[in-house]
Amino acid sequence: MKFVFPLLFFLVEVCSGANGETGYKTWLQYRLIEDQSLTSGYLKYCKSIFVPGNSEIITSSLLELNAGLKQMTGTEPVVVTNADQAGIVIGTIDKVSSSIRHIPDYQIKSLRQDGYIITNTGRQIVITSKSDTGILYGTFHLLRIMQMKIPLSEISIVENPKIRLRLLNHWDNPGKVPSGVPSIERGYGGETIFNWDELPVLNKRYTDYARMLASTGINGTVVNNVNTAKNGLEGWKLLTPEYLPKLKALASLFRKYGIRLYISVNFFSPVLISGLKDADPLNPEVQKWWNNKAEKIYGEIPDFGGFLVKADSEGEPGPIKYGRTQAEGANLIARALEPFGGILIWRAFVYGNKELSPDRACQAYEVFKPLDGAFSENVIVQIKNGPIDFQIREPVSSLFGAMPETNQMLELQITQEYTGHDKHICCLIPEWKEILDFDTYAKGTNSSVSKIISGELFGYKYSGIAGVSNIGDNPNWTGHLFAQANLYGFGRMAWNPDLTTETIIREWISQTFGNNEKVLSVISEILLSSRKTYENYTSPLGVGLMCNGGNTGHEGHFSPSPASRINYHKADHNGVGYDRTKATGSGYTGQYHTPVSSMYESPELCPEELLLFFHHVPYQYRLKSGKTVIQHIYDTHNEGVEEVIGYYEKWKTLKELIDNERYEHVLERLNGQIGYAKEWRDSINSYFLKISSIIDKPLH
């Protein structure tokens, strides 16, 4: 019984009442199932586990399975040493041959790295995979099914991750932060969970963090902000020797959950850390410096993921200073990581250079497209979903599909910088789904973003998806309980972009709040419509950036400030919108493949929700609804407020069905959201009334 001690320790931790219903347990609630017939169906299998194999990840799988089964069924399973005696068998294919005799060969052959099979052989539930990590993912899947109260009698699942790298990007600031600067840039879930003063001493929250990530399939995390030195930040220090034991401790813990550690680094590190005279990519001393650094890190953390770099952007230095290209800059660091299998993720968020087009939307493409093919094999260019900056609605960045010879990765923002912080319910999964499904036509039809970042379309060696984290030390991790749905949805969609939004949302609700049909339908309705609602009362028809300035405190990008954003929405007395056409505007439409470019070029063909992103139109321009643009702006802003009031009323109908603590938390947030929505409505509508001199004339 070698597992007895860790199991006991884990169970005491997971079961302790300390976390109540604050939301700390997220979707990993493992609530006792009250339906006796379901429980007895589960107990046919769940009383005993056979787990051949002995690795840290297998131990994590067993700990999780044991805790989950015990809490859900009320019976603690025993670990048996003979496969024939077990109700559940978990093990890699080579170790469970007798139990997988009945699994068809084609299913086994279809398994890719970290994929898994869960099957009911008639007598046993078997979870098998080629890798230990696959076993862990399969274990979480089984527990998910049980939390959703799905019977196990017919279970037969084959799953493979569609996207290889599925990373969280923390914008957490290590070290001392200057006064007034939060410990997480754009973080609304509290302070950073990474306690660098205490590390290498670990705490329970790191384990729960890793469990939470692994349960959705996330397999890497960048633990510090891409801004590493701006305004006195100290993130660059993670590369100093003092931090290596701390990184090692985190990496060792994350490894148990199949998660690789990555860090953001400063391009000027050789100068900042060792006083080299420059950081020029063509200086052999600089190359040597990065080589040594990589060797030291991999000496301690052999499975270290690699580095993320924000260069030549918003004060973070880069190769431009030395007259070198982004590719020369990236390749310098990539060469150092390459012998160890490390990856260099280089962000495409580069803008503001005077030689580029005055339209910010055009700039990333102008810088990166000409460099296609110039990046090393272990570089991935990480591109934000849209050409501006995580707005509630933007077209997909024109860079996707524009670099067939360069590994690409999609960057999404889970934290709600522009989408209501922790104050508004704004479920971003529908937006991400649209982005992933968007057809770039890079190789004719069927060239979706998800096929690009899965590597399928261009045969990339590395590719993936990153989400800017919304995690903090708030008891519920994300500030607003409903923001957990975005974190969960990011992981699930990264694992399988073909999942529907409805499926993911239902999974989250059912695991988080239980399976009551009314609870499921009310929360689904709120979450599914919340993105459109937020869009309605904030920013019309893709115009974007109607918010206040970007100070990184908790006020930045939160409130309406249309008058300060004329550069983006271009409203004047006659009309509104940014002309980005080739014919008369900035030419951004020309960066897309045909027929996407011609669709955006024409106001008639352009999807209406993006009309003002691509076109400057008169206020009296008629939309397909028959309404003028100005009337549409007024109406949607009014409707948005009504919708939030509707959420508040709907939520109240769940009072008896949700525990008090979480019920009150959401109620209080919704009450606040009504006020903020009104503020947005009044600000935007009065701005447009003033500038257009056209009064609001609703039809009814």
Euclidean distance between CA atoms 143 and 170, whole angstroms: 27
Binding part of the chain for ligand GCV, among 222-230, 264-272, 323-331, 454-462 by CB under 6 A, reads 222-230
How do beta strands 260-264 and 78-80 pair?
Answer: unpaired
Binding of residue 227 to ligand GCV (CB under 6 A): yes
CB of 222 to ligand GCV, least distance (A): 12
Of positions 25, 162, 170, 186, contacts ligand GCV by CB under 6 A: 186
Sheet bearing 78-80, strands edge to edge: 78-80, 48-50, 88-92, 125-129, 116-120, 156-159
User: Segment contacting ligand GCV (CB under 6 A): 85-93, 220-228, 270-278, 605-613?
Assistant: 220-228
Kindly state the smallest distance separating residue 341's Cβ from ligand GCV, in Å. 27
Q: Which of 198, 295, 300, 314 is catalytic?
A: 314
The span of 22-30, 221-229, 257-265, 687-695 binding ligand GCV (CB under 6 A) equals 221-229
Pick from 133, 110, 161: nearest CA to 465: 161
- Smallest Cα–Cα separation from 538: which of 687, 696, 680? 680
Stretch 341-380: interaction string toward ligand GCV, x if CB under 6 A: --------x-------------------------------
Residue 552 makes contact with ligand GCV by CB under 6 A: yes
Cα 194 to Cα 249: distance, rounded to the nearest angstrom: 12
Pseudo-torsion of CA 68, 71, 73, 75, nearest 10°? 100
Q: Tell me how far apart the alpha carbons of residues 12 and 70 are, in angstroms, rounded to a whole number.
A: 12
Q: Is 389 in the active site?
A: yes
CB atoms within 10 A of CB 244: 17
Nearest approach, Cβ of residue 67 and ligand GCV (Å): 36
Task: Collapse the DSSP code of 576 into the 3-class scheme (helix H, G, I; strand E, B; otherwise coil) and give the result.
Answer: strand
List 185, 208, 316, 417, catalytic entry: 417
Considering beta carbons, is residue 182 or 305 the nearer one to ligand GCV? Answer: 182
The residue among 102, 161, 156, 90 whose CA lies nearest residue 128 is 90
> Does 185 participate in binding ligand GCV (rule CB under 6 A)?
yes
Stretch that binds ligand GCV, among 223-231, 301-309, 395-403, 442-450 (CB under 6 A): 223-231
- In the shown chain, the binding pattern of residues 277 to 316 toward ligand GCV, with x for contact by CB under 6 A and - for none, equals ---------------------------------x---x--
User: How many whole angstroms separate alpha carbon 213 and alpha carbon 255?
Assistant: 12
Pick the binder of ligand GCV from 69, 163, 226, 261 (CB under 6 A): 226
Piece of 9-17, 224-232, 458-466, 681-689 that binds ligand GCV (CB under 6 A): 224-232
User: Of the two residues 398 and 552, which places its CB atom closer to ligand GCV in the complex?
Assistant: 552
Measured from the CB atom, is 23 or 235 closer to ligand GCV?
A: 235
Interface residue with ligand GCV among 200, 550, 607, 672 (CB under 6 A) is: 550
Contact string 310-339 vs ligand GCV (x = CB under 6 A): x---x-------------------------
Distance (Å, rounded) from C-alpha 165 to C-alpha 469?
15
Closer to ligand GCV by CB, 314 or 572: give it: 314
Report CA-CA distances (Å) from 490 to 90, 137, 395, 466.
Answer: 27, 16, 19, 9
Q: Which is nearer to ligand GCV, 180 or 626 (CB)?
A: 180
State how far the Cα of 463 lies from the Cα of 454, in Å rounded to an integer.
6
Which of 320, 319, 321 lies closest to 281 in space, CA to CA? 319
Does 237 participate in binding ligand GCV (rule CB under 6 A)? no
Using CB under 6 A, count the residues that bind ligand GCV. Answer: 12
In the set 114, 316, 389, 535, the catalytic residue is: 389
Task: Identify which of residues 248 and 347 has a Cβ nearer to ligand GCV in the complex.
Answer: 347
Q: Tell which positions 74-93 bind ligand GCV, by CB under 6 A.
A: none
663 part of the interface to ligand GCV, by CB under 6 A: no
DSSP string, 597-656: HHHHHSTTTS-GGGHHHH--EETTPBPTTS-BHHHHHHHHHHHHHHHHHHHHHHHHTTGG
x/- letters, 633..662, toward ligand GCV (CB under 6 A): ------------------------------
Residue 417 falls in the annotated catalytic set: yes
- Strand 575-576 to 617-618 pairing: antiparallel
Residue 245 C-beta: closest distance to ligand GCV, Å = 27
Those residues with Cβ within 8 angstroms of residue 484's Cβ, 6 or more apart along the chain or in another chain: 23, 26, 27, 476, 477, 478, 508, 512
Q: How many CA atoms lie within 13 A of 601 on its CB side?
A: 14
How far apart are CB 550 and ligand GCV at their closest, in Å?
A: 5
Instruction: Tell me which residues in 384-413 interact with ligand GCV (CB under 6 A).
Output: 389
How near is the Cβ of 389 to ligand GCV at its closest, in Å? 5
151 within 8 A of 41, measured Cβ to Cβ:
yes
CB 519 within 8 A of CB 654: yes
Site for ligand GCV in 567-626 (CB under 6 A): none
CA–CA distance, 166 with 488 (Å, rounded to integer) = 13
Residue 188 touching ligand GCV (CB under 6 A)? no
Residue 121: CB minimum distance to ligand GCV, A: 49
d(CA 610, CA 253): 44
Give the number of other CB atoms < 10 A from CB of residue 525: 14
Instruction: Assess whether 314 carries a catalytic annotation.
Output: yes
Which residues are paired to 172 by β-bridges?
184
Q: Does 171 bind ligand GCV (CB under 6 A)?
A: yes
> Which H helix or E strand runs over 156?
strand 156-159
Interface contacts to ligand GCV, rule CB under 6 A? 171, 185-186, 225-227, 310, 314, 349, 389, 550, 552
**Residues acting as catalytic residues:** 314, 389, 417
